[in-house]
A and B are shown apart, each in its own frame.
Chain A
């Protein structure tokens, strides 16, 4: 019943994606309909940046909907999904504040309904509640910032804001930036406004998580780009510096939390925080370079950020869809119950591996190209002759490198514990592979990951166009020659196609060598070497928690784990242990140190404010009189 609906949405997604690509290539248009939205009407405008994000939205929606055809069996949530997809498509195109905010709110509400998914248990309700509160707090900031800007410029149209941006007074500029940045950053999931992300993305059904992680948080980045580079440009250096530092922090903190998580979907959600951090490193770098008047370097950093945005949409969607297939087959999200799924779900495993290799930035796939570009943008910071800026860039480089290493470790764990070795539970033992439409969606995304990597020489010039339109100044950040592209100043160059060809040749060469050397290449089946022990059971395999243990020790100061050992001893003698349960969970520092105190403070304030609600009708009439007098005076 719902399958045809999702199939239709898939079609629309593909169409929207293609329209977006035409926008990137330069086909701009506007659309104004006066009536639908109050205070200015519905206004849509296509320019290269909007086209890029629309393409991102369109293709991700297509993939998720194709997956949903085989994944979703209930009717509940179909309407919310359609509304969500539509809103995601309208946000990048929005050309005035009301269209933008309305679409934003529809996006938030629809995704809230999808996160809740009609369930009634406490964790789901909590996830939905935290999400609702955070997203509306962000909306409040956005509303405040946009209305402030609108009241100064006298208009709600983005084009007018762009034109008026050089003339804004510094205090207003900084205030609006702060409000808009907080609003967009909370949507993007930047530390410390990230608490909703792991809860919501792991609670939602997987095709929705894929869209939320792959697309929705990118719209936060979209907002930051519009605000920082168009509506409020040119901004002071601390904007770029703050974004870069927060990006580096998000990158490291996100992946550190992902490493120690045994819930597959929460691991992917934290990894999204990490990747948003990487994108923001690029955006922050771009803002700093703009300030330092290094146009081509700013364009380079922006290209790196945009490329990583597209790549993350591709591989994170893929990973979430794969995780969804695994969760669907095993009915649990805990990796401690997985194992051996590569033999029972070969397609899902192969696609998930492609996603894992991409997100770990391994050559020659897409993640490598965008991280390479980000590194090159950071490494060139020496050309900006200010030591303070250089120091920030050096720290950003170190953070990015640490993140890259930790991401590879995290996805070795995610893929290895989930798919390899023996099944750790009955559910994993009897798992079945995904349905045809799910496989199709995942395979298409895996192919996209490869294509986005190998096609870098085509994509980079297109992104250079987008960067030029955003920064408003033409520059030559990169130079493409045949299969190689190089960055400005001959600093570095890369050819993903040649690297891929080299790797393929390198795979074939040992086979040729072995045949030529007369190696019989015989293999006999046996059992795993276990020091001669009698039985091999899944209990002897490494667990997700054990795999992350070295990291938990090294980063003890960050995780502050609390070890718990529960012993059940034999009643006759305490030396015979019947059962032992060991847990060493990391503490959620942001919850404990930031949110709980803030919430406690707010509750205390609310307690004081409660004094106003005395229930006395005369007091209420008195309030109304006071408010009326105040309004009359202030007019």
Chain B
């Protein structure tokens, strides 16, 4: 116990600053200023794996670690869609997960956002056209933003999330 604490205190804070400049595709239908104001300081995210290969999940799990630390921006992963403001969906949406994704979206209270992370979530990616795949998250639920990449790096994910809620670079990012 003491050894772990000493190691932590010796290592110090290792969080890197973030600077948004993403290759983000924002569809912007429901991203009104009002919504950005509501979520600007507090966005709770529920990650949904709609048949992904878990490459994107590995990158997303890096976001909660000390280097990328999404919590410093008021972003937070939650366990239940009832607690969530935003669904971060990965995977090409396989047929088996289509209904589950839709139910998850139904269970999320309004106002809510859907962010599709990864090339598969954008349009099926590698698996586009497969018999097992519905074809991108937009085929099941309305999407507000797409973070491309296969997989998108944690930096790209973080920058994408910040751009969605319009958090500007400067004093906030350098904290």
Contacts and interface: CB of A to CB of B under 8 A. Distances in A.
B81 interface: yes
B100 A529 contact: no
Contacts of B101: 532
Contacts of A534: 99-100
Interface of A: 524, 526-527, 529, 531-534
Contacts of B82: 529
A529 B110 contact: no
B160 to A, nearest CB: 24
A178 B61 CA distance: 70
A534 B98 CA distance: 11
B106 interface: yes
11 contacts: A524-B109, A526-B106, A526-B107, A527-B107, A529-B82, A529-B107, A532-B97, A532-B101, A532-B104, A533-B103, A534-B100
A532 B89 CA distance: 14
Contacts of A526: 106-107
B15 interface: no
B103 A532 contact: yes
B51 to A, nearest CB: 12
B80 interface: yes
B81 A529 contact: yes
A170 to B, nearest CB: 61
Interface of B: 80-82, 97, 99-101, 103-104, 106-107, 109-110
Contacts of A531: 100
- The 7 A-B pairs at the shortest CB distance, nearest first, are namely A532-B100, A532-B103, A529-B107, A532-B104, A529-B82, A529-B80, A526-B107
Nearest to B83: A529
Given A527-B107, A534-B100, 5 more contacts: A524-B109, A529-B81, A529-B107, A532-B100, A534-B99
A531 B100 CA distance: 8
B124 to A, nearest CB: 20
A531, A532, A533, A534 pick with most chain B CB within 10 angstroms: A532
Nearest to B97: A532
Nearest to A531: B100
Contacts of A533: 100, 103
Contacts of A524: 109-110
A111 B82 CA distance: 53
A327 B42 CA distance: 49
In this complex, the member of B97, B101, B106 whose beta carbon has the largest number of chain A beta carbons within 10 angstroms is: B106
B35 to A, nearest CB: 14
Nearest to B50: A532
Contacts of B80: 529
B171 to A, nearest CB: 28
Contacts of A529: 80-82, 107
Contacts of B97: 532
A533 B101 CA distance: 10
Which among A526, A527, A529, A534 has the greatest number of chain B C-beta atoms within 10 A? A529
A122 B91 CA distance: 61
A72 to B, nearest CB: 47
A529 B81 CA distance: 8
Contacts of B107: 526-527, 529
A533 B104 CA distance: 9
A529 B101 CA distance: 12
A529 B100 CA distance: 11
A527 B104 CA distance: 10
Which among B81, B103, B110 has the highest number of chain A CB atoms within 10 Å? B103
Nearest to B106: A526
B37 to A, nearest CB: 14
Nearest to A530: B103
A529 B109 CA distance: 12
A384 to B, nearest CB: 44
Nearest to B110: A524
Contacts of A527: 103, 106-107
A581 B82 CA distance: 35
Nearest to A534: B99
A519 to B, nearest CB: 12
Nearest to B82: A529
B34 to A, nearest CB: 13
A196 B128 CA distance: 71
A380 to B, nearest CB: 42
Nearest to B103: A532
B99 A532 contact: yes
A536 to B, nearest CB: 10
Contacts of B104: 532
A481 to B, nearest CB: 48
Contacts of A532: 97, 99-101, 103-104
A559 B107 CA distance: 41
